[in-house]
Homo-oligomer: A and B are copies of this chain.
Amino acid sequence: MATLEDIGVSAFINILSAFAFLLAFALLRIQPINDRVYFPKWYIKGTRTSPRGGNFVTKWVNLNIMNYLTFLNWMPAALKMSQSELIDHAGLDSAVFLRIYLLGLKVFLPMTFAALLILIPVNVSGGSLFFLRKELVMSNIDKLSISNVPPKSIRFFVHISMEYLFTFWICYMLYKEYDIVASMRLRFLASQSRRVDQFSVLVRNVPHVSGRSVSETVDHFFQTNHPDHYIGHQAVYNANKFAKLVRKRDRLQNWLDYNQLKFERHPDKRPTSKLGFLGLWGKRVDSIEYYKQQIKELDKRMALERQKIIKDSKSIMHVAFLSFNSRWGAAVCAQTQQSKNPTLWLTNWAPEPRDVYWRNLSIPFFSLSIRRLIISLSVFALVFFYMIPIAFVQSLANLDGLEKVAPFLRPVIELKFIKSFLQGFLPGLALKVFLYILPTVLMIMSRIEGHVAFSVLERRAAAKYYYFMLVNVFLGSIVTGTAFEQLHAFLHQSPAQIPRTIGVSIPMKATFFVTYIMVDGWAGIASEILRLKPLVIYHLKNMFIVKTERDRKKAMNPGSVDFPETIPSLQLYFLLGIVYAVVTPILLPFIIVFFAFAFFVYRHQIINVYNQRYESAAAFWPHVHSRIIASLLISHLLLLGLLSTKKAANSTPLLIPLPILTLAFHKYCKNRFEPAFRKYPLEEAMAKDIAERNAEPNFNIKAYLADAYLHPIFGSFEEEAEPVQVRIDKNQASHVAAAAAVADSPSLSEVSSPSPPHYVHNYDVESQHYIYNYDVESQNNVYHYNVESHGNWY
């Protein structure tokens, strides 16, 4: 077991490596050549441009020595922005995400003081028995933990009262934080300018009515049941085939770009290629001409396909985005049950357009139930049995197996150096690969579950990752053996025995977790700020691909806060802190360092780097809250188990009310705050409606909403947007006039009914125009999104 000195050495190494990362970051970030890697957010906002002027060298390398001396000045700079500015700058999600780290500091700082001042003296002085029994090999760190207190000691009353104190303190902080976040969310939603999703409702499972198109069915139903508020809808198309063409076109465009670049570099030699398989044989053609021709043909096919999709009633899915003339009408429709059959006409808030995961929109209700069942079973299997396939792969991948499969490799493998390298490397490889692809696998699982918004997908993936970490990192480290063995053991132990088994080994694992916090927490966060991977990729792209300013913008790849991974690991640190606060309080300072450091780093990244893909207005908070509560419950149970092995029979029962009170607190919070994250109160909607009606009485809501939720495939032809600009404006004007004419009486929106062919073209063309506008106004635009993330919506 590690002694205090061991931990000191480990801490020293980790602090050193963290500092190395920081130093590297400090040096790299002030080089102008890296400016776009470390400050992409400002480029996207348009307030920063590439460093110009100066000579050739200063354009690439920073020669100002002063900048090198103040290399840590990003830290105070990261704190300068106020919270409201931060919300404006990066959105509420990011601001609330930072509050989790602050909450960690607020919770654990006083707890650390209390624990160090009260518990450590109690534990250390309790060790009278310890010095008598020298034969027991115990580490120094155990002297500071609850292990040092002899059984049946009256000192356990101190631990129990501290556990009460800590629980009340955490609950108090959680309550305050929930309150603040909930009101921040409501204020954010209220303060936002007009947004399409406030007026939109997603309806799923539109029933099939014979003799009527989906559009007619939707219009008829909602004109009947929401006559005063419904103004129209936008259909959702099944565009699988079209998306394939889009992907093919992207590929061709890439080849064209590559060949054009090649030609620019060597203008003397026009690039050619062969038409046969993999370009190995066949007729030799001029590459640039060939790809241009191919793209032109594909564009024609795509235009045809697009027309076909819009005309063909079968490609319209049984899903639609409804538009309402007021937030009140949309709120009512989203929150109420529409049909006698509760599986039909399922209405819900429309996610904001950037957030829609189009592919899942068409999954029918029945299939959803089955998908969810299958995925929950798979997650359970993944969490508890993931070692089985890995062990299998490992057994295949050992050297003997390899030699059997590929006997010709034997001479190479038998070399001593290579053999020892492979033996050390191969068995771990399968596990490493698995852990690397795990977030992707969990995300795919969430997609199969059928959620229709990226934000929900990420939250669900985060939940799965949390379960995995809880079982495999936390429990798995405490109880040795694979999760599967644990499960087996737990099934054959009495429920009262489980917390004992775990509780007893908890103090012994403190040193492991201290090391874990330093490696995964400290060094991990420091490597986050360095952005090594984006740095390398950016410079590679810059070297080979980038031609125009737009290309350079595309190459930046700012990334975003990776909620599915960061939030679960954050929650793991909360769990560690809460569990060890009473058991081994010396662990707390390490956690505080993690929270403080991570706060600085993420604040810097959010201000300067990340560009969030969507804005869910802190919809993840209820999960954060409930998992901290779960950590509290786990800590109560484990302390119960631990104390019951210490024979503290007269004090242990005092702990029993604690989990019950915590659960009651959780239930109260759920009732009190959660609706703010799930529903949109009518009071708010009405107030916003009235204020807006007074400010802009003649605003044409119908025109505003007309193409808000157009399938992204219809916005993917950047080239066409320019030439038809003139026509668009004319069309739009007539369209707005028409819309204004029908705006008074609720009637079928011509714009949103794509069946008559003469509208189709307007529709399509306008859509690009709208999206283009959106782009200019809001920076976080649909257009940009389409370009960046084709891989996402299909």
Residues of A within 8 A of B (CB): 183, 186, 221, 224-226, 228, 328, 331-332, 335-340, 342-343, 345, 365-366, 369-370, 373, 377, 490-497, 660, 664, 667-668, 671-676, 679-684, 686
Nearest 8 pairs of A and B residues by beta carbon: A342-B675, A337-B679, A373-B664, A335-B336, A491-B496, A492-B494, A369-B668, A225-B686
CB distance from A539 to the nearest CB of B (A): 49
| Complex Cα spacing A671 to B337, Å | 12
Which of A366, A493, A683, A684 is most buried by chain B, counting CB atoms within 10 A of its CB? A683
CB distance from A679 to the nearest CB of B (A): 4
A674 and B342 contacting across the interface, CB-CB below 8 Å: yes
Number of copies: 2
Between A and B, 10 residue pairs with Cβ closer than 8 Å are A183-B340, A225-B682, A331-B336, A332-B336, A336-B679, A338-B682, A339-B683, A345-B683, A369-B664, A494-B497
Which of A226, A336, A496 is most buried by chain B, counting CB atoms within 10 A of its CB? A336
Which residues of the partner chain B approach A340 to less than 8 Å between Cβ atoms?
A: 183, 186, 676, 681, 683-684
CB distance from A697 to the nearest CB of B (A): 17
CB distance from A754 to the nearest CB of B (A): 25
Which residues of the partner chain B approach A342 to less than 8 Å between Cβ atoms?
A: 671-676, 679, 681
Which residues of the partner chain B approach A224 to less than 8 Å between Cβ atoms?
A: 683, 686
Closest chain B residue to A677, Cβ basis: B342
Which residues of the partner chain B approach A684 to less than 8 Å between Cβ atoms?
A: 340
Closest chain B residue to A494, Cβ basis: B492
Which of A337, A340, A497, A671 is most buried by chain B, counting CB atoms within 10 A of its CB? A340
| Complex Cα spacing A225 to B687, Å | 8
Closest chain B residue to A342, Cβ basis: B675
Closest chain B residue to A489, Cβ basis: B494
A667 and B337 contacting across the interface, CB-CB below 8 Å: no
Which residues of the partner chain B approach A680 to less than 8 Å between Cβ atoms?
A: 337
B664 and A370 contacting across the interface, CB-CB below 8 Å: yes
| Residue in contact with A332 in the complex, picked from B332, B493, B676, CB distance below 8 Å | B332
Which residues of the partner chain B approach A225 to less than 8 Å between Cβ atoms?
A: 328, 682-683, 686
Apart from A183-B340, A343-B672, A493-B494: 14 A-B pairs, beta carbons within 8 A: A225-B682, A331-B336, A332-B332, A335-B335, A336-B679, A337-B675, A338-B682, A340-B676, A340-B683, A342-B673, A369-B664, A373-B667, A492-B494, A495-B495
CB distance from A447 to the nearest CB of B (A): 20
Closest chain B residue to A227, Cβ basis: B686
A681 and B494 contacting across the interface, CB-CB below 8 Å: no
Closest chain B residue to A370, Cβ basis: B664
| Complex Cα spacing A491 to B228, Å | 59
| Complex Cα spacing A664 to B373, Å | 7
B683 and A338 contacting across the interface, CB-CB below 8 Å: yes
| Complex Cα spacing A225 to B328, Å | 9
Which of A365, A373, A660 is most buried by chain B, counting CB atoms within 10 A of its CB? A373
| Complex Cα spacing A328 to B229, Å | 13
| Complex Cα spacing A340 to B676, Å | 7
Which residues of the partner chain B approach A496 to less than 8 Å between Cβ atoms?
A: 491-492
CB distance from A327 to the nearest CB of B (A): 12
| Complex Cα spacing A228 to B332, Å | 13
| Complex Cα spacing A221 to B687, Å | 11
| Complex Cα spacing A683 to B343, Å | 14
Which of A337, A496, A676 is most buried by chain B, counting CB atoms within 10 A of its CB? A337
